[in-house]
Amino acid sequence: MTGIPLPLVPTLPAHPDLQTDAVLDSGLLHELAHAFGGPFHFLLPHRFDDNLAAFRTALDEAGVDGRVYYAKKANKAAAWIERCAATGTGVDVASLGELREVLGHGVRGENVVVTGPAKNEELLRIAVLQGALTAVDCLDELDRLIALARTGAVRPARLLLRRLPPAQPHSRFGMDEAELAQALERCVRAGDAVRMEGFSFHLSGYATQPRADLAGQLVDLCLKARVMGLQADRISIGGGFAVDYAAADDWHAFLAAQRPEHYHARKAFSAPDFYPYHSPVAGADALRAVLSAVPEGGHDSLASRLRETGTLVLMEPGRALLDRAGASVFRVQGVKDRDGYGILTVDGTSLSLSEQWFNSEYLPDPVLVTPDGRARPDPAGTGAFPAAVGGASCLESDLLTWRKIPFPTRPSVGDLLVYPNTAGYQMDSNESPFHDLPLPPKVVLDDTGGRPRWRLDRRPAC
């Protein structure tokens, strides 16, 4: 089959990444596919370090005192937590399993923030015993935390009060103004049992101004709480720092061109359901933008408000710390032809590429890797081969990519498909051993400067 001419199938290449390309061209991935006999992910922990350093630099440049907590739910690998433990970085957890995991890798309790709604008793108790900071979601949780701290825990309960975002009134998280007023009273009455350290929020979306606006309100709340005798010297602005996956022109051209016929079975995704794969302000630059913005109703930047009031800023980036820190590798195990396009079947499922489970699709183009490296256009001149990518399950809907991707050449069984930049939420949020297929292992590629070296993220137990 000779494919549809390239320009007729929209494409969305990820930003070039020389380091990842070097891995793709090294032959290592075929070795690993042979070793594991199934799909796997590779992780680049030095990229996590770089992203973290960029957030710290943004704080320093703004002259603001702050702490970064990696939001653990974005990826389950141990590699990130090892880096957090080694660098004294905080971690944001929301379950007992996550808390155990971070403590077990050496993150100090005092560097943990526990978020999530209505936390269970055991999670709250261990958080208090470990000196972790708890972001309290609601009044009944506050009562339970105070009760726990009073019944003989060795430390006061360190806590933040989570604000329900006024601009997102349908959020199921946090407390409204009246509830916060009651919470403050209860903290005062609890005396030494609690240390009320401030307020927190986490907003959906990626806009920076709403974060600065709400942060400004939380600074005002801190000042009120201090008058009541509470510590209230910090605010957490949550996560939601965008990741920029693709160039602006490519993204806008893609959105303008994409139509149902570009997808297998004419499946239509509506554009607002896509993650904004191009973001002009992303990562640490988004933090810069939040800090330099003037909160609504004020005159000074958020950074100067924080400085003037002696308020520390905490943040919980997940996706942004994982930018370009990993990729997912599947092996082509079948190539079939349809009317004008192909369907590749790979040796894993869409449960290892989570976006599909949010009625959306992970759009950055997967790269076809042959045993010789990245695929080049077919020398025989048969042209591009547009194909959708299906999983190895018996579900009609198990496609990793419904979109017909314009591969430079017809893939062969045994070639690899590498989905770029998947560490943030794609790899494992929805993974499942469905069909008794093994969960894809994670391979860590440490930055050794020379030939890539690998190790398992979790060594097999003996």
Ligand X SMILES: *Cc1c(COP(=O)(O)O)cnc(C)c1O
| Geometric angle at alpha carbon 318, from 233 and 90, rounded to 5° | 45
Q: Is residue 316 a contact point for ligand X (CB under 6 A)? A: yes
Terminus-to-terminus CA distance in the chain, angstroms? 50
**Does residue number 119 form part of the binding site for ligand X (CB under 6 A)?**
no
For residue 135, the tally of other CB atoms under 10 A from its CB is: 28
Nearer to ligand X, 173 or 385 (CB): 173
**Is 76 one of the binding residues for ligand X (CB under 6 A)?**
no
Window of 22-30, 49-57, 239-247, 296-304 that interacts with ligand X by CB under 6 A: 239-247
> Which one of 3-11, 27-35, 234-242, 256-264 is the stretch in contact with ligand X (CB under 6 A)?
234-242
Rounded Cα gap, residues 270 and 407, in angstroms: 23
CB closer to ligand X, 79 vs 193: 79
Considering only residues 86 through 115, tell me which ones interact with ligand X, judged by CB under 6 A.
92, 115
Distance (Å, whole) CA 221 – CA 166: 14
Q: How many residues does the chain have?
A: 462
Separation CA 218–CA 178 (nearest Å): 14
Minimum CB–partner distance for residue 322 and ligand X (Å): 8
Q: How far is the CB of 202 from ligand X (least distance, A)?
A: 4
| Near ligand X by CB under 6 A: residue from 58, 59, 68, 74 | 74
- The nearest distance, CB 221 to ligand X, in angstroms, is 18
The answer to whether residue 84 is catalytic is no
Look up residue 33 and give its DSSP letter: H
The interface region with ligand X, picked from 95-103, 184-192, 306-314, 315-323 by CB under 6 A, is 315-323
User: Per CB under 6 A, does 428 bind ligand X?
Assistant: no
Is 344 an interacting residue with respect to ligand X (CB under 6 A)? no
Residue among 70 and 251 whose Cβ is closer to ligand X: 70
State which of residues 55, 241, 330, 341 lies at the interface with ligand X (CB under 6 A): 241
Position 318 contacts ligand X (CB under 6 A): yes
Amino acid at 255: L
DSSP-assigned letter for residue 74? G
Helices (H), 300-352: 302-308
Distance in angstroms (rounded) separating the CA atoms of residues 15 and 373: 18
Q: What is the DSSP string of 235-259?
A: EE---------S-HHHHHHHHHH--
For 399-432, the DSSP string reads EEEEEEEEESS---TT-EEEE-S-TTTTTTTT--
Given the structure tokens 């920076």, which residue do they identify?
Answer: 208
Q: Does 73 bind ligand X (CB under 6 A)?
A: yes
Q: Write down the least CB distance from residue 151 to ligand X, Å.
A: 27
Helix axes 96-104, 78-87, angle to 10 degrees: 60
Place of tokens 């909160």: 295
Q: Which two tokens stand for residue 279?
A: 């973001």
The site that binds ligand X (CB under 6 A) totals a number of residues, namely: 15
Closest CA to 64 of 281, 222, 288: 288
Minimum distance from residue 372 beta carbon to ligand X (Å): 36
Which segment (98-106, 318-326, 442-450, 451-459) binds ligand X by CB under 6 A? 318-326
- Compare residues 240 and 348 and give the one whose CB is closer to ligand X: 240
Question: Is the Cβ of residue 53 or residue 223 nearer to ligand X in the bound state?
Answer: 53
Compute the distance between CA of residue 243 and CA of residue 261 in angstroms, rounded to an integer.
Answer: 28
Q: How far is the CB of 321 from ligand X (least distance, A)?
A: 8
Piece of the chain touching ligand X by CB under 6 A; list 20-28, 103-111, 311-319, 445-453: 311-319
Site mask for ligand X (CB under 6 A), range 185-224, x = bound: -----------------x----------------------
HSE, CB side, 13 Å, CA atoms: give it for residue 186. Answer: 19
* Unique residue bearing structure tokens 């974005």: 74
Q: Is 331 in the site for ligand X (CB under 6 A)?
A: no
Q: Per-residue contact track with ligand X, 357 to 396, x per CB under 6 A?
A: ----------------------------------------
Point out the catalytic residue in the list 84, 138, 394, 462: 394
* H-type alpha helices, 130-247: 139-150, 177-190, 209-227
Smallest gap from residue 441 Cβ to ligand X (A) = 23
- Cα 37 to Cα 160, 349, 352, 416: the distances in Å are 47, 14, 16, 12
10 belongs to the binding site for ligand X (CB under 6 A): no
Q: At 301, list the tokens.
A: 């930047």
Residue 238 sits in the site that holds ligand X (CB under 6 A): yes
Q: Count CB-CB contacts under 10 A for residue 32.
A: 17
- Residue numbers annotated as active site: 394
Q: Which residues bind ligand X (CB under 6 A)?
A: 71, 73-74, 92, 115, 202, 238-241, 316-320
